[in-house]
Amino acid sequence: MKIAIYSRKIEVEQEPHLKVLLQELKLHKASLMIYRNLAQGSLQSLLSSFEYEVFEQHEDLNQSVDCFISLGGDGTMLDAATFIRDKGIPLLGINFGRLGFLATIGKEEMRHAVDALFNRTFHIDQRCLLHVDSNVPLFADAPFAMNELVVHKSDISSMIKVHCYINGEFLNTYWCDGLIISRPTGSTGYNLSCNGPILFPDSSSFAITPIAPHHLNVRPIVVPDSNVISFDVESRTGTYLCSVDARRASLDVSAQVAVRKESFTIGFMRLNENTFLETLRSKLTWGMDKRN
């Protein structure tokens, strides 16, 4: 089995956990690929007793990779999607970060996770993405997002006006700081913090959620992902920010941007006992009350 391992950075206190993971994979005779920045950094001495290839960009990966392991938090999982793309490689997130809503497997569960991987006692949830179309170059060769697209005012400028359309039909004009177009995976992130709805991972929907709207009667709305969402922006500065999964670009108000369903999905590997409802309760303390 061929395993690719990615992380933005491994802290000194996390190195023993990485060593445990590598030893478990070696015990199962896995073929390893390590992200180049990790292999060339402070981990060289730790990795010296292991055989591995290195990868640096998404072109270095293909369908021969059986699993892509992300070590970090949820942001690291979003990075991983830009490597996997449409290759159909399952993604396994081990939480080396803080909350770990997407990276649900704790460091203490690594041995169990590796056993599940090689015994194939895991479940794969297919997570849908969004695709960004624009009349200007935007987000290079990765115009997709697992969490959300956000249209936002520039820095501390005045609020913007976002004219939003569904399949070309006018929906609403939002006077706000910004607008979030969220996928189900991202509904528990920025969308939730702006009072947007929680969507189940397998729901085929977009959530449209305004950021600090100026009107009290403006509320989030959920639309089927068979629709194309587009918008025009008015801003006193003549520019606005557009971001997908924390990748950001500054656009002129003349730019035309639209969002639609991406043609591929990303498979999230999870232990069979780690369901979405369990994650809601454990990570977000959903419905928990000291009276219960």
Picking from 13, 10, 92, the residue whose alpha carbon sits closest to that of residue 44 is: 10
Return the structure tokens found at 12.
């000194």
CB 172 within 8 A of CB 164: yes
Please report, for residues 58, 69, 78, 154, the alpha-carbon distance to residue 104 in angstroms, rounded to integers and kept in the order given.
24, 12, 14, 34
The CB density around residue 186, as the number of other CB atoms within 10 Å, is 29
DSSP state of 157: P
Please report, for residues 62, 82, 96, 201, 221, the alpha-carbon distance to residue 186 in angstroms, rounded to integers and kept in the order given.
26, 16, 20, 9, 15
**Per-position DSSP letters for 48-72, written without gaps between them:** TTS-EEEE-SGGG--TT--EEEEEE
User: How do strand 67-72 and strand 229-234 relate by DSSP bridges?
Assistant: unpaired
What distance in Å separates the CA atoms of residue 46 and residue 86, rounded to the nearest whole number? 32
What distance in Å separates the CA atoms of residue 288 and residue 281, rounded to the nearest whole number? 7
Catalytic residues, by residue number, are 74
What distance in Å separates the CA atoms of residue 79 and residue 89, rounded to the nearest whole number? 14
